[in-house]
Structure 1
Amino acid sequence: MVLAILSLYLEQFLSSYVVMMQRRDLTSQAMVISELLKREPNQTLAYEIGSHIMTALHGQYDLVPPPQKSARSRTFLDALTPTEREHLLSGHPYVASGVPTLLPHASPNTVVYAVMPIHNEQHGLEAFLVITEMMDPKDDPSKVISNLITFAVILGTILTTGLAFVVSKNLSRPLIEMIDAAEEMARGKFDTRVRVVTQDEVGRLGYTFNHVAGELERTVRALTEEKEEIGGILGAMTDAVVAADVSGRLTLLNPSAEQWLRNLRSLSAEERPFALPEELIQMQRDTLDSRSRMTREFFWHGRHFIGSMTPLYQSDRPTVLRGTVTVLRDVTEERRLDRLRKDFIANVSHELRTPLALFQGYTEALLDDFGDDPEQRKEITQIIYEESLRMRRLVNELLDLAQLESGNFSMRFERMDLLVVMRRVARKYFSLYAERGLTLKLETELNSIFLCADADRIEQILTNLVDNALRHTKEGGVTIQVTKNETHLIIRVRDTGEGIPQEDVPFVFERFYKADKARTRSRGGTGLGLAITQNLIRAHGGEIGVESHLGIGTTFAIMMPLSLSRCQNESDET
């Protein structure tokens, strides 16, 4: 559109300029020819000179009679305006475009003509000099200019369109690539880059885009790695980590916290907790009010927890609270171990104090020559001896238990027949059971039972259980029952004794635990036998359980693996 308007104005300007130049040239020619005709006395010579001049200038001239002698002259003058007529008759040339009407046989190729009056001092107006400039239509400067302008406009349009297309492609292609790359980055592909082929503003923009993309990729990768590390740390923590906003709505839970909240609220695996328990909500209110870290102890479902809560602030506004993070630690086992440690020290002190007191008392009696009767002295000595044996047994069992729990206990695994060991233990106790009017039975339908175990430790396990049953059974007897399935051996030691209270059953395998503390000392127990038994069974890869009813009896059940692979591996190594 701009080119079309510009070409239109340019065409009009150039056409006007050509016409103006033609008129100026004809005016000059007319004045020269008229002066020649006026001054040259020989009119024939003047005419020839004028003809040669006009031929050289690609024009011609004619002389037309004055209006008094020519009707064409009068018609021509009548067609002029008064101003043009006055101007012409005063001796000035009249220039016009087109075919002159003064000439009867004017060429239709006439482009412009000039009329110049010729005056004689004696006779006045003698004639009109008509100078015409003819031109082939195809050589018309206006048309040539118009064609040139049209060609230039078309060529300019083609060139500018092509240039604009090339420039737009060079500009748009990088921009389109940047848009595509930005969309890829929005979808999470931060390794996307754009090609940079120029050094102009678009190229600099591409370099900047690639730099920003690289920095963003590194930042996102670092954040992802940091998030994975934090997630791994939170996932590996046994402590519960709970984050909540100021309203108490949960925003972060590690697996331990999810499991704890499900157990606390009896939720299924599909249900997710969305709010803090009431105790933690109150603790959160206090933490937000004080804006400081708080630590409290809680008791839920029979377990002790210590919770440490810290306020969280908004990153852009450090004084505005956005929630809290709480770390909950289950200290039930720690409390239990602390209690066991205290009980262990108290029990060891108690167990050692009694025999030491007896040693001291009877030794002082012997030193003071207490009693002259040899039998009395022998009895005192026997008591000292029995108490020393009891102390030795207590110390040995403490050492064995410590080694078992530390993993330093020596075990010698070999292929053995369990029935051989069971019959040997039964023979040792037949007479003791018979003396108290009790029965000891061995029930099994198997002829032999082979397993990979330490025969001495298996004998110690059975001895502890049979001896424990003997000490707590007043009438009836003890039955040792052996069965097996495809993978495990099951040994049951069942007595008809006094039984164990239900509240004491979970603690029978703890060190120094005695269900009947008033009568155990008289029965010779140290309180360590069942703890040692449990550790020996676990060292063989088995487990032991107990079932008891007051006044009915107690049953200890042992489950041992039948696999012989451990013995085969040890034989291969040797």
Structure 2
Amino acid sequence: MVVILKNRLDVNSLKFKLWTYFVLFAATIMTILWLLQIVFLNTYYKSMKTNEIKKIGDSLVVEYGKDDFEDIIYTISFSKGLIIQILNEDGVPIFPMNTSFDPRPPKFDFMESRKFIDKLEKEDQEKILYTTEDFRLGRPTIVYGAVLQGQNGENLYLYINGLLDPIDSTTFVLKNQLIIVTIISLLLSLGLSFIIASKISKPITQVTNAASVLAKGNYNIVFEKGDYTEIDNLVSTLNYTTKELSKVEELRRELISNVSHDLRTPLTLIKSYAEMIRDISGDNPEKRKSHVNVIIDESDRLTTLVNDILDLSKVEANLSQMNHEEFDVVGTTKDILKRFLILEEKEGFTFILNCDDEVKVCGDEKKIEQVIYNLISNAVNFTGDDKSVFINIKDVGSYIKYEVKDTGKGIPKEELDHIWDRYYMVGKNHKRAVIGTGLGLSIVKNILMAHNSDFGVESYTNQGTIFWFQLKANK
């Protein structure tokens, strides 16, 4: 029970973090609303009211002197609920003079007129804006003042007074509404965030559980797709990876079996012939020589097997540095064919080379030599009863096309795409090579890819197989 609870409350899980972030986001939004609507509402209202009165005062300064100035004052005064007066130097209102219009804004307080003028005269910009307390109403007011020039050059003063209406009742209503909205929002965010977090984390959890099964070596597991493109892409990649791992595992087992066979056979022969030399042919020079030659041949096979495995590992690990240079691929081929002379003499193999006397190409000669040797060795292993291997070097413009053809039974179409894979054996039935180990095609693939060369295979039932690759020609 404790373990289950711990798993459900895993603070590092995606579900928990999504749920937390969603709740924090909702809480942040509600906090901002509370600050704006309750804490900063009075300040915001005062700022807005102050700016409004200042704009009205500045516009009246500009409008002063026009014929309809009195009408403008009345319109603004009644629409905005402001006291707007023009005072003389004694602080007496002289404008507007129309008193027949009723109702009018609150009357001007003559007790404050002198203080107002004194403050205005002290300002360098001839304008003032301040907040004061109206003791008659018991409420704060905003006062705007500006100096105007009369017709006779005397100073006149624009006086604007606006009440800061109390907003306590508005704040109280907003606070009650926000309490309800906050509770509803938090409850909704808790529920909704939990649903969203669960829905998002569910396919990831499924992928994780399936990956755990895969890690235990079960390659039959299938990753299920979810509701999101990113998850589907991940699942497709993992399913492909699982398929490839399954193939590699199968091929690895086959390799172990095949290599074990390749190792066991020469080792058995070496031991057997060594015992024969010790027990039987030690004093017979001819038999001893024959037995020693078998031991040497089988040792060479073991050396070739180990070298091929090491070469494959080095090439795939990019441990070998490529040394591109110009060389004669025909001369290289002829040197390689000398190593197969023993097969011509003892086994009756025939190697037919169709090419010009000299063909210059660019590449790593040692690596290409390994490619050619492996392809010819592969052809020797699988050619037909006529034991013929054809090597064609063709000029195809800026490239040369190198072909190695055997006359064997061919490769099934369904296996053509896999013959370059590591450890893959055609037909799954291993046949110990006359020369080589059967690992050569993997080495060929990696070397040619390092040269950025095109390569491929063409095979037809009972007509043989052609392996080919291209190299850049130097003309």
| Normalised TM-score (structure 2) | 0.49
**TM-score scaled by structure 1?**
0.41
Greater relative contact order (Cα < 8 A, sep 6+): 2
